[in-house]
Amino acid sequence: MAIRLDATDSNFNAAFADLLAMKREVSDDVDAIVRDIIDEVRARGDDALYDYTAKFDRFDARSKGLRISEAEIEAAVAKVDPEVMKALELAAERIRSHHARQLPKDDFYEDALGVKLGSRWNAIEAVGLYVPGGLAAYPSSVLMNAVPAKVAGVERLVMVVPTPDDVLNPLVLAAAKLAGVDEIYRIGGAQAVAALAYGTQSIAPVYKIVGPGNAFVAAAKRRVFGLVGIDMIAGPSEVLILADKNNDPDWLAVDLMAQAEHDKVAQAILITDDAATADAVEEAVKRLLTTLPKAEIAGASWADYGAVITVPDWETGMALANRIAPEHLELAMDNAPDYLDKVRNAGAVFVGHYTPEAVGDYVGGSNHVLPTARSARFSSGLSTLDFVKRTSVLECNVENLRQIGPAAVTLARQEGLEAHARSVAKRLNME
Amino acid sequence: MAIRLDATDSNFNAAFADLLAMKREVSDDVDAIVRDIIDEVRARGDDALYDYTAKFDRFDARSKGLRISEAEIEAAVAKVDPEVMKALELAAERIRSHHARQLPKDDFYEDALGVKLGSRWNAIEAVGLYVPGGLAAYPSSVLMNAVPAKVAGVERLVMVVPTPDDVLNPLVLAAAKLAGVDEIYRIGGAQAVAALAYGTQSIAPVYKIVGPGNAFVAAAKRRVFGLVGIDMIAGPSEVLILADKNNDPDWLAVDLMAQAEHDKVAQAILITDDAATADAVEEAVKRLLTTLPKAEIAGASWADYGAVITVPDWETGMALANRIAPEHLELAMDNAPDYLDKVRNAGAVFVGHYTPEAVGDYVGGSNHVLPTARSARFSSGLSTLDFVKRTSVLECNVENLRQIGPAAVTLARQEGLEAHARSVAKRLNME
């Protein structure tokens, strides 16, 4: 059973603070192992990749090569059911059109003094995409990472995916093909991250690495951060639902369990201004858990991290929501759009009774890679912006330099940087 | 003497690769020390800050408190020369107006199916700004970090700055005041980063930490990354100048040394299509080093990391520039604007003979916090975007859900996520 809190209780603040402080992530100390793996890949390149793949994924990649060939991809894709392929295509197309709107525009202008300033955006030339193998191999995640990269104009998009026991995942390959991934390698773990960052004989290095992974992958990304760019390191997923009394408790229950079925450390929270709704949803969850295939996982998440909070009014409810800063926020109220302006901290908002979070996971068009563990207070979901970078441009003529240069000379000398000062002064015949 | 390379030499490719691979950063292994400091601050709060400040900055902050008071700030600011204050004000105003153009716009729209999608931007509520003490205390850096944060709408901008021997830096405080910093604390090092990330009795935690610092500060930022956001971890600075024959060698020399005077591990590179210019600049650098106050630092940087490269044409020159991906790129050619389109990887470009990089350091208006060590291949300089975050918004009505929902059901079942599938199916009376 989830924890039940009432915002009007005298001990609520302490209990809510405990809920916020709950640490759901197990931080395995894998850093030493990961350091060794990275060192091995740097020193031995492909040979290290063959060895780790034999050890962790139980097959010999030497004979067929690290790269998954076009023929292998075609053969796998041919196995995908046409209805599933159509669903993937709809998802890819909707993601593409939404993310195209996020492309930033160059901005060049002359300011009041005639100084020319500008911002020019360019795609990152080469990006690596980590895709987990086994259970967490989600074709939807391939689309969510790869499509925005291609929309941004990344020329070389390189995917790595472990293929345990040498088994390819047709849907993952189909999604990669749809999204326009350029190269796919059958490697995973910290060794794959190292290969992307440093390069090997078969794999040219990339400049940024995105995509989810286990503790080893996360630790490896943290280590290569700086040499290459990385995306946020994702934690366990969470949903917060704000619901008024005009809801079918079964709908809310299944939305909560859709989050909980991801992971025993996922978190699902309901905030409602109606105690009867709170009771009814708790009952509905119980019923639902008797029929769900992943009831064991979802039930553990709900018992350990789930919460049902009653609030006296929506001002209180919105304030709590912004403190939680959830990855996913469902506004299941009749007048849900009215509350959008009050949302300060959330990865994504799903508005109204007919927008379950799961529709956003697949076919809404917006990205499902979102800030977890309260990081929506300071970061954003994945977007086209993650695959571009900005160069600023400054151009003065002698007139401009005469107007603003002397202030630069003054400040440079205050900072003890005489060559800085002279580089301006010399052009103005100042001393 | 800097290294001299000729792009037409047969051994050029290997020599250039060596130049790119040059490791300028000394990675002190301070991680264990930093971990202990962070643990102490988490456990003991203000008391730990008092102890570390006594130890590292040699004064007792207990009596006057950690926060620098309004009265102290006013008293310090009163000491600043009026001409210097005017220069700071010009800089702040130009930074403000340029960064205001970077504010992203919300985007709400209905797509072809009538699904409502949106992106809403909000400022990060609380941001911490680390400002180094001593030699590296640059008021210009305070402006470059603090002004964009305030332009973005950050409500609580908290600055930390070590004040060794209890000595305040008037210019740094003046810059903070001009930029609108809300709170200033007299602490530095890993302990200050820990205080910002976790909070203490006197200091409420922030959600993101920006600003440059030494190896301890960098290691602490890397450690708290995830709990809070951080900016890029800056390495030693660098400039690349592309110059044709129509240049005064003394101007180019002083521009190169303006970079070199920062740090013995700074890097200054000249690429020219004219061998006589290459020779003349090398001579001019020698002469300049006899008169520069920081000749020892600049000379060491030039000897160890400087490079002069001659190229047969600008196609070659631009290709090398994009491989170097410099923090600062000066285009000192007569037709410099024509080459802007060819710049793919650079933090900032300074166009033409009258735009020395130093003008951008202070009063150009664009930001001087830029990607170092080739990271311009995948990241951007600091901007207003670093102080905002995006929430995506999705709204379906029953009609929309009927159109796109079935594809979500199909994909969710392929991924083995039955509750996801049912959360959509239930609303459509599907099974």
B86 and A421 within 8 Å at the Cβ level: the answer is no
Has A93 been annotated as catalytic?
no
Catalytic residue among A327, A330, A353, A357: A327
Q: How far is CA A205 from the centre of its chain?
A: 22
Catalytic residue among A98, A99, A328, A353: A328
Bridge partners of B109?
B117
Q: Hey, what are B176's tokens? A: 């903070």
Q: Are strands A328-332 and A348-351 parallel, antiparallel or unpaired?
A: parallel
User: Which pLDDT band holds residue A276 (cuts at 50, 70, 90)?
Assistant: very high
Q: Which residue of B has its CA nearest to A368?
A: B392
Question: Is residue B276 within 8 Å of residue B268, measured between CB atoms?
Answer: no
Q: Is A24 on the interface with B (CB under 8 A)?
A: no
Does B191 carry a binding-site annotation? yes
- The CATH class that applies to domain A3-25+236-364 reads alpha beta
Q: Is B114 on the interface with A (CB under 8 A)?
A: no
Residues of A in contact with B398 (CB under 8 A): 354
Question: Is residue A176 within 8 Å of residue A58, measured between CB atoms?
Answer: no
Has B328 been annotated as catalytic?
yes
**pLDDT of A25 strictly over 80:** no
Residues of A in contact with B353 (CB under 8 A): 427
Helix, strand, or coil (residue B253)? helix
User: Which pLDDT band holds residue A98 (cuts at 50, 70, 90)?
Assistant: very high
What does B145-188 look like in DSSP terms, one character per residue?
HHHHHHHHT-SEEEEE---GGG---HHHHHHHHHHT--EEES--
What is the nearest CA distance from A374 to chain B, expressed in angstroms?
Answer: 8
Q: Where in chain A is the domain with CATH 1.20.5.1300?
A: 396-428
Residues 121-180 of B with CB under 8 A from A: 122, 124-125, 135, 138-140, 171
DSSP secondary structure code for residue A53 in this structure:
I
Q: Where in chain B is the domain with CATH 3.40.50.1980?
A: 3-25+237-364, 31-106+120-230
- Phi-psi sector, A166: left (phi>0), alpha (psi -120 to 50), beta: left
- The whole-number pLDDT of residue A288 equals 98
B375 and A229 within 8 Å at the Cβ level: the answer is yes
Q: Where in chain A is the domain with CATH 3.40.50.1980?
A: 3-25+236-364, 31-230
What is the nearest CA distance from B63 to chain A, expressed in angstroms?
Answer: 31
**pLDDT of A135 strictly over 70:** no
Residues of A in contact with B125 (CB under 8 A): 344-345, 377
Question: Is residue A36 within 8 Å of residue A134, measured between CB atoms?
Answer: no
Architecture of the domain spanning A31-230: 3-Layer(aba) Sandwich (3.40)
Q: pLDDT tens digit string along A306-357? A: 999 999 999 999 999 999 999 999 999 999 999 999 999 999 999 999 999 9
- The whole-number pLDDT of residue A24 equals 73
What is the nearest CA distance from B49 to chain A, expressed in angstroms?
Answer: 23
- How wide is the angle at C-alpha A278 spanned by C-alphas A272 and A284, nearest 5°? 130
Does B414 carry a binding-site annotation? no
- The whole-number pLDDT of residue B149 equals 98
Which CATH number does B31-106+120-230 carry? 3.40.50.1980
B415 and A138 within 8 Å at the Cβ level: the answer is yes
Q: Hey, what are A171's tokens? A: 């849907």
Residues 242-271 of B with CB under 8 A from A: 250-251, 254-255, 257-258, 260-262
What does B276-309 look like in DSSP terms, one character per residue?
HHHHHHHHHHHHHHTT-TTHHHHHHHHHHH-EEE
Architecture of the domain spanning B396-428: Up-down Bundle (1.20)
- The whole-number pLDDT of residue A27 equals 65
Nearest to A2 by CA among A328, A305, A317, A324: A305
Does A98 carry a binding-site annotation? no
Bridge partners of A126?
A156
- The whole-number pLDDT of residue A29 equals 77
Asked if the ipTM is above 0.90, the reply is yes
| Torsion angles phi and psi, residue B361, rounded to 5 | -65, -25
What is the nearest CA distance from A63 to chain B, expressed in angstroms?
Answer: 31
Helix, strand, or coil (residue B384)? helix
Residues of A in contact with B351 (CB under 8 A): 116, 393-395
Q: Which residues contact B426 (CB under 8 A, 6 or more apart)?
A: A250, A251, A254
Catalytic residue among B98, B99, B328, B368: B328
Q: Taking residues A25-50, report their average pLDDT.
A: 90
CA distance B20 to B12: 12
pLDDT tens string, chain B, 431 residues long: the values are 799 999 999 999 999 999 998 877 666 678 889 999 999 999 999 999 999 999 999 999 999 999 999 999 999 999 999 999 999 999 999 999 999 999 999 999 999 999 999 999 999 999 999 999 876 679 999 999 999 999 999 999 999 999 999 999 999 999 999 999 999 999 999 999 999 999 999 999 999 999 999 889 999 998 899 899 999 877 888 999 999 999 999 999 999 999 999 999 999 999 999 999 999 999 999 999 999 999 999 999 999 999 999 999 999 999 999 999 999 999 999 999 999 999 999 999 999 999 999 999 999 999 999 999 999 999 999 999 999 999 999 999 999 999 999 999 999 999 999 999 999 999 999 87
Q: Is B202 on the interface with A (CB under 8 A)?
A: no
Of A351, A360, A423, the CB nearest to B255: A423
Q: Which residues contact A215 (CB under 8 A, 6 or more apart)?
A: A26, A27, A28, A30
With b for 16 or more beta-carbon neighbours within 10 A and e for fewer, the B345-368 pattern comes to bbbbbbbbbbbbbbbbbbbbbbbb
> Of A78 and A26, which is predicted with more confidence?
A78
What does A179-223 look like in DSSP terms, one character per residue?
HT--EEES--HHHHHHHHHH--SSS---SEEE----HHHHHHHHH
Residues 212-241 of B with CB under 8 A from A: 222, 225-226, 228-229, 232-233, 235
CA distance B56 to A155: 49
User: Which pLDDT band holds residue A233 (cuts at 50, 70, 90)?
Assistant: confident
DSSP secondary structure code for residue A246 in this structure:
S
Does B368 carry a binding-site annotation? no
Does A207 carry a binding-site annotation? no
Distances (CA, A) of B300 to A333, B14, B20, B263: 66, 24, 18, 9
Segments in A306-397 forming alpha helices (H): 314-324, 357-362
Segments in A64-112 forming alpha helices (H): 70-78, 82-100
- The whole-number pLDDT of residue B184 equals 98
Give the CATH superfamily of B3-25+237-364. Nitrogenase molybdenum iron protein domain (3.40.50.1980)
Quote helix, strand, coil % in chain B, to nearest 5: 50, 15, 35
Q: Hey, what are B140's tokens? A: 């210009």
> Of B165 and A135, which is predicted with more confidence?
B165
